[in-house]
């Protein structure tokens, strides 16, 4: 039994999450595991109606009663910036001590990348983003606010404990990946001579315990350039909270767009639930039009199952997550050369690749590949036929 708290949130959040839930339903039937999923009403609507984001008691309730959180996105134009982002998303990350934000940067076969000549063999790395420190701590303040002599500070915090536990996680992960066994620290030691000096020293010291993992260091500006010019050099990246946020939007862009990129906020000690969510935000520009690409949310569901299975030592749930990821990977080549996902998807031209259409296209492609499913598919007009039709995956 896996107990999931779902926070659809704002904008396209609930739309894309529901597609992930359809996959979960199909997987539970197929693999014979049970789940309980509760949709929780936190987000912008509640803030506007009740002037409350989420209380300490409500977070404690989630911590006590659920294994994991599945989140869509938060943030809307009629709520001031930061209210929902800090008050809900960052509150959950911090209060549940989800100190790792795991963000795969992986080009699935058939998804178009804007990097000319690159294939899925070139772009497959993992970003381990520290998730509870840095500029995200909220330390700082105003002095003489609103006057010509105003001062605003925002402090970057690095603790030896916080940095070290993140580095250890990254070294351990890098070891298990079937790549080069190379961990790249991304920072800015040439300017941030305190915080990133600590990172560098910890990297070298902890790295000494992992002689089988090669160490490399890149400044974040160079990293952005390499991610575009030679993304194949990366296996695993470990980086700070803010830099991790920024480079993973770039990571999304080189792997097909915001509609593809998935993430997991992990508490590897399993003392509190993790939280899985697309890298993208609430995309108010396309919300309510049913045109958001749900792959990021579907892949986040796959990660949710893989990681929860791992933590709970439940091979069935882990296998279900693997199968969902394989299902996405398997169907992507059907769309070779098609711009499946681009920001600005609401233009008439790119609407062609909207979810509704994409769903139908995918099912049609599956019928060609698996004609034996034809009758089932015809019955299930808006169902999960596309997903079930492709099983068992290789
Ligand atoms: P965004 O990721 O919401 O949107 C950026 C661009 O990508 C937009 O053009 C959008 O249409 C497109 N896009 C995003 N997801 C897509 C999808 N699934 N399919 C197709 N296109 C997609 O970022 P933003 O516009 O900077 O932020 C909007 C709001 O979301 C803000 O309030 C921001 O604070 C919030 N936000 C929340 C999260 C989160 O909850 N995890 C993450 C990022 C931003
Ligand atoms: C992300 C988002 C969040 C972040 C915001 C909404 C607080 O951009 O998950 O990437 O900066 O971490
Ligand atoms: Mn971000």
pLDDT at res. 364:
52
Catalytic residue among 10, 134, 245, 377: 245
Q: Is 72 in the pocket of ligand 1 (CB under 6 A)?
A: no
More confident residue, 220 or 393: 220
Mean pLDDT of 245-255: 96
Specify whether 226 is located in the same domain as 273: no
pLDDT at res. 343:
37
Q: Is 279 in the pocket of ligand 2 (CB under 6 A)?
A: yes
Specify whether 300 is located in the same domain as 241: no
Tell me which residue has its CA closest to atom 11 in ligand 2.
245
| Gap between the Cα atoms of 347 and 301, Å rounded | 28
Mean pLDDT of 349-369: 42
Q: Is the pLDDT of residue 109 over 70?
A: yes
Structurally, the chain folds into a number of domains equal to 2
Q: Is the pLDDT of residue 136 over 60?
A: yes
Tell me which residue has its CA closest to atom 5 in ligand 2.
85
Question: 69, 275 in Cβ contact below 8 A?
Answer: yes
Q: Is 247 in the pocket of ligand 1 (CB under 6 A)?
A: no
CATH of residue 129: 3.40.718.10
pLDDT at res. 379:
30
226 in catalytic set: no
Ligand 2 atom having least distance to the Cα of 241: 12
3-state class (DSSP) for residue 266: strand
pLDDT at res. 335:
59
Decide which of 254, 288, 318 is a domain's last residue.
254
95 in catalytic set: no
Q: Is 96 in the pocket of ligand 1 (CB under 6 A)?
A: no
pLDDT at res. 172:
98
Mean pLDDT of 368-391: 38
Q: Tell me the pLDDT band of 294, cut-offs 50, 70 and 90.
A: confident
**Side-by-side strand order, sheet with 100-106:** 35-39, 2-9, 68-73, 274-278, 262-266, 100-106, 124-130, 236-239, 182-187, 214-219
| Gap between the Cα atoms of 356 and 350, Å rounded | 12
State pLDDT tens for residues 224-233.
999 999 999 9
State pLDDT tens for residues 78-101.
999 999 999 999 999 999 999 999
The answer as to whether 114 is a domain residue is no
Q: Is 293 in the pocket of ligand 1 (CB under 6 A)?
A: yes
The answer as to whether 153 is a domain residue is yes
Mean pLDDT of 352-365: 44
Mean pLDDT of 360-385: 41
The answer as to whether 108 is a domain residue is no
Residues 326, 298, 385: CA angle, nearest 5 degrees: 70
Specify whether 202 is located in the same domain as 283: no
359 in catalytic set: no
Specify whether 249 is located in the same domain as 296: no
The burial of 174, by beta-carbon neighbours within 10 Å (0-12 exposed, 13-18 middle, 19 or more buried), is given as buried
Specify whether 184 is located in the same domain as 209: yes
The answer as to whether 211 is a domain residue is yes
Ligand 1 atom having least distance to the Cα of 277: 41
The answer as to whether 281 is a domain residue is yes
State pLDDT tens for residues 251-280.
999 998 888 899 999 999 999 999 999 999
Least confident of 92-96, 156-160, 383-387: 383-387
Pair type for strands 68-73 and 182-187: unpaired
Range of the domain at 306: 1-99+267-394
Specify whether 278 is located in the same domain as 366: yes
pLDDT at res. 391:
36
Mean pLDDT of 372-382: 35
Interval between CA 298 and ligand 3 midpoint (Å)? 18
pLDDT at res. 366:
47
Specify whether 284 is located in the same domain as 248: no
Q: Is the pLDDT of residue 104 over 60?
A: yes
Specify whether 206 is located in the same domain as 295: no
Specify whether 232 is located in the same domain as 328: no
Share of residues in the chain with pLDDT > 70 (%): 85
Decide which of 232, 254, 276 is a domain's last residue.
254
Decide which of 226, 254, 282 is a domain's last residue.
254
Q: Tell me the pLDDT band of 338, cut-offs 50, 70 and 90.
A: low
For residue 259, which ligand has an atom nearest its CA?
A: 1
Specify whether 157 is located in the same domain as 206: yes
pTM of the model: 0.89
Q: Tell me the pLDDT band of 355, cut-offs 50, 70 and 90.
A: very low
136 in catalytic set: yes
Q: Which of 130, 140, 105 has its CA nearest to residue 187?
A: 130
Q: Is 170 in the pocket of ligand 1 (CB under 6 A)?
A: no
Specify whether 69 is located in the same domain as 176: no
Interval between CA 324 and ligand 1 midpoint (Å)? 24
Specify whether 227 is located in the same domain as 350: no
| Gap between the Cα atoms of 96 and 60, Å rounded | 9
φ/ψ of 68, rounded to 5, equals -160, 155
More confident residue, 240 or 334: 240
Interval between CA 246 and ligand 1 midpoint (Å)? 13
Question: Mean pLDDT across the chain, nearest whole number?
Answer: 87
Number of helical (H) and strand (E) elements in the chain, helices listed first: 15, 12
What sign for the dihedral angle of Cα 237, 239, 245, 250? negative
Catalytic residue among 136, 169, 210, 234: 136
Q: Tell me the pLDDT band of 293, cut-offs 50, 70 and 90.
A: confident
Candidate of 241, 257, 281 to mutate for ligand 1, largest count of ligand atoms within 8 Å of Cβ: 281
Q: Tell me the pLDDT band of 106, cut-offs 50, 70 and 90.
A: very high
Interval between CA 258 and ligand 1 midpoint (Å)? 7
249 in catalytic set: yes
The answer as to whether 90 is a domain residue is yes
What is the 3-state secondary structure of 208-253? CCCCCCEEEEEEHHHHHHHHHHCHHHCCEEEECHHHHHHHHHHHHH
Q: Is the pLDDT of residue 377 over 80?
A: no
pLDDT at res. 67:
97
Q: Is the pLDDT of residue 350 over 50?
A: no
The answer as to whether 45 is a domain residue is yes
The answer as to whether 39 is a domain residue is yes
């Amino acid at each position: 039994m896996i107990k999931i708290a779902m926070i659809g949130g704002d904008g396209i959040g609930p739309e894309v999450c529901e597609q992930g839930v359809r996959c979960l339903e199909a997987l539970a039937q197929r693999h014979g595991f049970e789940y309980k999923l509760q949709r929780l009403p936190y987000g912008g609507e509640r803030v506007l109606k009740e002037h409350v984001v989420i209380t300490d008691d409500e977070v404690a309730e989630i911590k006590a009663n659920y294994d994991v959180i599945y989140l869509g996105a938060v943030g809307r134009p009629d709520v001031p910036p930061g209210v929902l982002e800090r008050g809900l998303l960052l509150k959950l990350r911090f209060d549940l001590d989800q100190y790792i934000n795991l963000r795969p940067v992986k080009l699935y076969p058939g998804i178009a990348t804007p990097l000319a000549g690159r294939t899925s063999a070139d772009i497959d790395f993992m970003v381990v983003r520290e998730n509870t420190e840095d500029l995200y701590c909220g330390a700082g303040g105003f002095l003489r606010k609103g006057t010509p002599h105003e001062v605003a500070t925002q402090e970057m915090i690095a603790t030896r404990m916080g940095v070290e536990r993140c580095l250890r996680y990254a070294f351990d992960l890098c070891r298990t990946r079937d790549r080069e066994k190379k961990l790249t620290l991304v920072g800015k030691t040439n300017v941030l001579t305190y915080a990133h000096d600590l990172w560098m020293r910890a990297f070298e010291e902890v790295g000494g315990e992992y002689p089988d993992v090669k160490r490399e260091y890149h400044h974040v500006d160079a990293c952005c350039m390499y991610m575009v010019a030679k993304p194949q050099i990366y296996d695993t990246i470990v980086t700070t909270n803010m830099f991790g946020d920024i480079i993973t939007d770039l990571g999304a862009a080189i792997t097909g767009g915001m509609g593809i990129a998935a993430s997991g906020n992990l508490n590897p000690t399993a003392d509190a639930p993790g939280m899985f969510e697309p890298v993208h935000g609430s995309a108010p520009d396309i919300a309510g039009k049913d045109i958001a690409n749900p792959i990021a949310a579907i892949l986040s569901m796959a990660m949710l199952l893989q990681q929860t299975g791992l933590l709970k030592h439940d091979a069935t749930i882990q296998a279900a997550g693997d199968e969902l990821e394989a299902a996405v990977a398997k169907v992507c080549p059907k769309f070779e050369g098609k711009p499946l996902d681009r920001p600005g998807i609401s233009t008439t031209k790119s609407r062609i690749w909207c979810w509704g259409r994409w769903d139908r296209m995918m099912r049609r492609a599956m019928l060609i590949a698996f004609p034996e499913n034809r009758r089932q598919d015809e019955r299930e007009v808006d169902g999960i036929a596309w997903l079930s039709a492709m099983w068992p995956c290789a």
